[in-house]
Structure 1
Amino acid sequence: MVTTRVSAWEVAAAVPDPELPMLTLADLGILAGVDQDGDAVTAWITPTYSGCPAVAEMAADVSGRLRAAGFGEVRVRLRLDPPWSTDLITEAGRRKLAEAGIAPPHTGARTAGPGLLRLGPTRHLVHCPNCGGADTEELSRFGSTACKALWRCRSCREPFDRIKEI
């Protein structure tokens, strides 16, 4: 039976994201914490936005993996404050996104102050995750999920998803 907080964290951190399965919840910064009191574990997740349709699946996956690892009482709770930001995506997560052909977001989306975010069109140079070219354009602010936008590389002519900065 697993009995240490580190082990509970490691189990929960290894859960893949349901929409981006090449990344774990820890890679995305969605896993906000794991508290353990004896055999009872509470995992905290911060969804990418409060209406995220994958929340129930993430919670079920975290709970199932912790139970399978031997934890008796498992709770998964939402933590919405502080809100999730693309700045929480780890360097490993950004690398895995690029390797999967998805342009990672730039860091520094948050402004000074609690909960203030810069939202709007990208004003950064976006490199193509396929060829590395910098001659890219946004085709649609709306991509395959709410967190993505559709882009195209003018050099290799390939379309690609890009994670929006939040």
Structure 2
Amino acid sequence: MTDAWSAAAAVPDPEVPCVTVADLGILRWVRMEDGVAVAGVTPTYSGCPATLAIEMAIEVALRDAGFEARIERVISPAWTTDWITDAGREKLRAYGIAPPEGAVGKMALFGETEVTCPRCGSRDTIRISEFGSTACKAQYQCRACSEPFDYFKCI
């Protein structure tokens, strides 16, 4: 069982390859059912274009590890950025993406969040676009070091 979890958990996110599906918390569980490794996967949001690619990559990883495999899409409860692990948040920061700040709340919907620059650590930042390299990220710029960066929005 741990071998199946390890194989599935090591799959990188195709849009943000510095983190794995386990780091993001979208791999919910892996369990054996009648000799088949079944992985529960929760999409980050219903319109995420990477969902099918992620599910296929997890299935391939399980098969490559010697398991018959099946993926179950788990839509309830809905994924939240609160599920990103501490290790995942640090990997995002090291990659140059500011991880979500604080817990999910209504004010996050209105951009009422102070964002820390992942490069220099300054909180003197400004949102320059609601959308960054993907729909789940916003584009910010640091006023201290002048560098632009993506911020992984609280969802």
Q: Same fold (TM over 0.5)?
A: yes
What is the aligned partner in structure 2 of residue 81 from structure 1? 76
What is the aligned partner in structure 1 of residue 153 from structure 2? 164
Q: Quote the Cα distance in structure 2 between the aligned partners of 1:118 and 1:57.
A: 31
What is the aligned partner in structure 2 of residue 94 from structure 1? 89
Structure 1 residue 121: deviation in Å? 2.5
Query: In 2, are the aligned partners of 1:151 and 1:162 still within 8 Å (CA)?
Result: yes
TM-score, normalized by length of structure 1?
Answer: 0.89
1:37 to 28, 33, 39: 33
Structure 1 residue 126: deviation in Å? 1.2
What is the aligned partner in structure 1 of residue 46 from structure 2? 50
1:145 to 111, 134, 142: 134
Q: Give the letter for the 1:87 counterpart.
A: D
TM-score, normalized by length of structure 2?
Answer: 0.95
Secondary structure of 2:109's counterpart equals coil
Secondary structure of 1:51's counterpart equals coil
What is the aligned partner in structure 2 of residue 63 from structure 1? 59
Structure 1 residue 119: deviation in Å? 4.7
**How many residue pairs get matched?**
155
Structure 1 residue 143: deviation in Å? 1.1
Query: In 2, are the aligned partners of 1:86 and 1:107 still within 8 Å (CA)?
Result: no
Structure 1 residue 98: deviation in Å? 0.4
What is the aligned partner in structure 2 of residue 114 from structure 1? none
RMSD of aligned Cα (Å)? 1.3
In terms of fraction of residues, the more helix-rich structure is 2
User: Aligned residues: percent identity?
Assistant: 50
Unaligned runs of 5+ in 1: 111-116
Deviations 1:138-159 (A, max 9, x none): 0011111010000000011000
Q: Quote the Cα distance in structure 2 between the aligned partners of 1:121 and 1:29.
A: 24
Q: Quote the Cα distance in structure 2 between the aligned partners of 1:106 and 1:80.
A: 24
Q: Give the letter for the 1:139 counterpart.
A: I
Q: Give the letter for the 2:58 counterpart.
A: V
Q: Quote the Cα distance in structure 1 between the aligned partners of 2:108 and 2:76.
A: 18
1:134 to 123, 144, 151: 123
Structure 1 residues 119 and 132: alpha-carbon distance in aligned structure 2, compared to 1, 3 A threshold: closer
Q: Give the letter for the 1:77 counterpart.
A: E
